[in-house]
Amino acid sequence: MFLYFYNKAKDYFLAFLHLFYPHLCLECGTDLLPSDSVLCISCEKKLPYTDLFSIENNIIEKIFWGRNVILAAGAGLFFTKDSIVQILIFELKYKQNKKAGWLLGRIIGAAMQHLNRFNKIDLLIPIPISLKKERQRGFNQSIVICEGIQQILPTLKMASSLKKKKATSSQTNKGRLQRSEHLDQVFELQEAHVLKGANLLIIDDVITTGATLEAAHKCLWQARPNSISIAAAAYTL
């Protein structure tokens, strides 16, 4: 009996909330969408999926050739300007919309799920952001993406083994090119012993030049893992 009234009250409450904060698909605006998502099923189906996870020597892996030893790499979606993918990333990073990040994570998880190339992963390693950004944003978007991956692959553990070092004033004043050379020194390892002999999957939101991931890889490599792979929510065309 109590449960009945509780559920009824919850329904009314949700309906009331919906009136003021309508839950609408970010792409087409319909209100017929799963409560844990930001897109309706039809718009989710129409996203620009990449298939890169299943392709050996794909364009993302080629970015790291001659630079880092990568077992496998992939990205869930193609990122283009003014697209729904840009909106999803924007919602996650600047509008505190964790549901957008969970969706992006689920897309990665579903793409990797049955692939031999990704079936030995032990640990998800989110790319860290600075403490200042984390305070402004309320969370690290890569961690939210990891949580979405875990919704599909619950046995995968997450380890926040990378920490972003505080930017020194000399770094902030340098030009873009010089700054990218200094990316090598932006991360530091935490609890490196957890990583030794493990198969790692670094998680990032968008891959553009790969410079951040290259630096993260170099840092993690010092802990002597068995392998490092890379997965991003989106890849910039």
Nearer to Zn ion, 40 or 52 (CB): 40
Q: Which of 4, 16, 23, 43 binds Zn ion (CB under 5 A)?
A: 43
Q: Cβ of residue 39: shortest distance to Zn ion, in angstroms?
A: 6
Q: Does 214 bind Zn ion (CB under 5 A)?
A: no
Residues 6+ apart with CB under 8 A from 185: 165
Q: CA 218 to CA 21: how far, in whole Å?
A: 44
Q: Does 123 bind Zn ion (CB under 5 A)?
A: no
Q: Cβ of residue 111: shortest distance to Zn ion, in angstroms?
A: 21
Q: What is the pattern of x (binds Zn ion, CB under 5 A) and - over residues 17-36?
A: --------x-xx--------
Q: Cβ of residue 168: shortest distance to Zn ion, in angstroms?
A: 45
Q: Which of 37, 38, 40, 106 binds Zn ion (CB under 5 A)?
A: 40
Q: Does 47 bind Zn ion (CB under 5 A)?
A: no
- Coil, helix or strand at residue 118: helix
DSSP for 127-181, written as a single string: PP--HHHHHHHSS-HHHHHHHHHHHH-TT-EE---EEEPPPPHHHHHS-HHHHHH
Interface contacts to Zn ion, rule CB under 5 A: 25, 27-28, 40, 43
